[in-house]
Amino acid sequence: MCRSIKTLRRKESKPTDQEIHDAALQFVRKISGYRVPSRSNTAAFESAVKEVSASSRRLLDAVA
């Protein structure tokens, strides 16, 4: 996995929605192999970013 992905879990504050979105976008780009998807893949790409963002938010809200 990419070593440049930032850790979002901080003790002093929760990550913002934008930080989570940016991390999800980076993750989807990494696993898909596309920095920018083709027009035909844009919907799937954006859907994956939303799903990863939502899952990440649930995880971060649940961990102590």
Helical (H) or strand (E) element with 1: none
pLDDT for the residue 12: 78
pTM metric for this prediction? 0.82
Give the pLDDT confidence of 17-38 residue by residue, as tens digits: 999 999 999 999 999 999 999 9
Structure tokens, 64: 């102590």
CA distances from 53 to 2, 11, 41 (A): 17, 20, 18
